[in-house]
Structure 1
Amino acid sequence: MLGIERRQKIINKIQQERKVYVNELAILYNVTEETIRRDLEKLEKQDFLRRSYGGAILKEHTYDDISFSKRITLNLEAKQQLAQKACTLINTDDSIMVDASTTCLEVVQLLKNEKSLTWITNSIKIVHTLIHNSAKVIASGGILRNHSYSLTGNDALNTLDNYCVDIALIGCKGLSIEQGITESNEAESIIKKKMAEQARTIILLADHSKFDNNGFAKTLNFKQINYIVTDKIPSAKWVSFLKKQNVKLVY
């Protein structure tokens, strides 16, 4: 296993368990403890974790606006799994508004060769992904946020307001029963709200790490959501709650 692959697995593990131990990781990945310590040191420098005695703990980013380049590596396998499930909800000839989240990008990667789809997005990364296929792509315009490769502001909102679409694909920073769906940045949250207003069907993409977490800006409540697509079944409490809210859970 390459070092970069091992470190990605460590990121996924600490996201799930909140804490990891050097000796356990060394056994799990069949490397020396010194190798694991070097891995943890690199991941600490990249702001994924904080080293502690005998291991490391997850560095919480609930309210942080993490850069796109860091977010794209977090829980990548889970995002890819739920992206495959999300594709089953999209039909030929659908028009889709899609935000600038890394999870939405995974869905677009899978559907980029579907020529009959129409995409409307505020994501520079998604526009770049679709640039060489013959699907219809509408970029929102607006103020560029370099941190997230997204376009926000009044120009972006005005563009979105011109269209009524079949589906809004939306990611989030977190979701909780008490606060609903939240985002780390207010400008991004406003864009997601507008996308939800313009769509007949709203699909929230949220891997398991997003449940029971809150971001800074409240985006949507559960009664506005039609589907939540995730990579694994959440707790019984969540299943019961979403059923009462008439939200279809796909996992």
Structure 2
Amino acid sequence: MYQEERMLKIVDYLQLHKRISVDDICEFFNVSRDTARRDLVKLEEHQKIIRTRGGALLPTLDHELTRNYKERLLTVSAEKQIIGQIAANMVRDGNRIILDSSTTVQACAERLHVQECSVITNSINQADVLSEKDGVSIHLLGGRLQKEHRFVYGSSAIATLSRYFVDKAFVGVGGISLHGLSINHEEDGMLKHQMMKQADQVIILADHSKFGKNLSYRFADLYEVDIVITDRLPDPAMLDVFRRHDVEIIVP
């Protein structure tokens, strides 16, 4: 196995288990302790891990989550674009849908091609993208504006949202684990949960890096989810959790 492959698997392991030892790496990949240490040094150089005595752990603060919305849009990955395309293909003519304020969900909005559709969103970016599409009716929720991340939130937004019923809600997450769905912004999480409650079908958009993560605010449980669209299947343990909660996984 090449070093790059081991490094990816080490990060995948850390996202599930939070820490790994040099002995673990030697056992999992049948390599020497010197090779294991070199892998950790390189991962630390790429700011993927924090090295500890005898091993490593994930950084406590994910750089992706500290950047504002415009900065994150500049680096939307090919994986997120593929996820967005799959999500857009699930929208049918005449559907009423909710789109939240995540960049992966914006990839869905950009690829939405229907003759007629009604969209509720708390994202000023989503509303702007959809305003260019004929046949799409847009309801932008009112409330306080979170300027850096470009979403509307607050009690008035939640109260308005609670009066609507939709066919599908497309929701992005910061983390998804056996403990549920999580995000770093409590106000965003509260609105996401209300979006899920208003939908006949809840569809989570999450690339593989989100699996095994628990961020600061848990906003929903897995039993509230119908479908997860992702770019890569999670590990067997996470797959088993999804099956137990009747969550369908869709990959390219």
* Larger CA deviation: 95-104 vs 78-87: 78-87
Deviation digits for residues 94-124 of structure 1 (CA, Å, limit 9, x no counterpart): 111111000100000000x423111100000
CA separation in 2, counterparts of 1:218 and 1:66?
20
Counterparts in 2 of 1:142 and 1:119: CA distance versus 1, 3 Å: same
TM-score when scaled to structure 2?
0.74
> 2:93 touches 2:115 (CA, 8 Å); kept in 1?
no
2:193 matched residue in structure 1:
193
Counterparts in 2 of 1:131 and 1:240: CA distance versus 1, 3 Å: same
Indicate whether 1:88 and 2:102 are aligned: no
> 1:101 touches 1:170 (CA, 8 Å); kept in 2?
yes
CA separation in 2, counterparts of 1:102 and 1:166?
21
Indicate whether 1:172 and 2:162 are aligned: no
Q: State the secondary structure of the residue aligned to 1:132.
A: coil
CA separation in 2, counterparts of 1:204 and 1:15?
23
- 1:184-223 correspondence runs (5 A): 184-223=184-223
Q: 2:47 aligns with which of 48, 52, 57?
A: 57
CA separation in 2, counterparts of 1:144 and 1:15?
37
> 2:76 touches 2:104 (CA, 8 Å); kept in 1?
no
Q: State the secondary structure of the residue aligned to 2:71.
A: helix
Aligned residues: 205
Counterparts in 2 of 1:66 and 1:54: CA distance versus 1, 3 Å: closer
Identical pairs, percent: 25
* Larger CA deviation: 85-94 vs 139-148: 85-94
* Larger CA deviation: 80-89 vs 130-139: 80-89
Q: Which amino acid aligns with 1:56?
A: H
TM-score when scaled to structure 1?
0.75
- 1:1-251 correspondence runs (5 A): 55-58=45-48, 60=59, 61-62=61-62, 64-74=65-75, 76-111=77-112, 113-134=113-134, 135-177=136-178, 179-251=179-251
> 1:115 touches 1:133 (CA, 8 Å); kept in 2?
no
Q: State the secondary structure of the residue aligned to 2:239.
A: helix
Counterparts in 2 of 1:16 and 1:160: CA distance versus 1, 3 Å: farther
CA separation in 1, counterparts of 2:196 and 2:171?
8
CA separation in 1, counterparts of 2:224 and 2:144?
27
**Structure 2 unaligned residues grouped into runs of 5+:** 1-6, 12-40, 50-58
1:9 matched residue in structure 2:
none
Q: State the secondary structure of the residue aligned to 1:168.
A: strand
> 1:226 touches 1:247 (CA, 8 Å); kept in 2?
yes
Deviation (angstroms), 1:17 = 6.6
Q: State the secondary structure of the residue aligned to 1:170.
A: strand
**Structure 1 unaligned residues grouped into runs of 5+:** 1-13, 19-50
CA separation in 2, counterparts of 1:85 and 1:230?
9
Q: State the secondary structure of the residue aligned to 2:127.
A: helix
Q: Which amino acid aligns with 2:139?
A: I
Deviation (angstroms), 1:15 = 8.2
Counterparts in 2 of 1:131 and 1:88: CA distance versus 1, 3 Å: closer
2:37 matched residue in structure 1:
none
Q: State the secondary structure of the residue aligned to 1:118.
A: strand
Deviation (angstroms), 1:212 = 0.7
Deviation digits for residues 204-236 of structure 1 (CA, Å, limit 9, x no counterpart): 010000001111111110100000000111111
Q: State the secondary structure of the residue aligned to 1:58.
A: coil
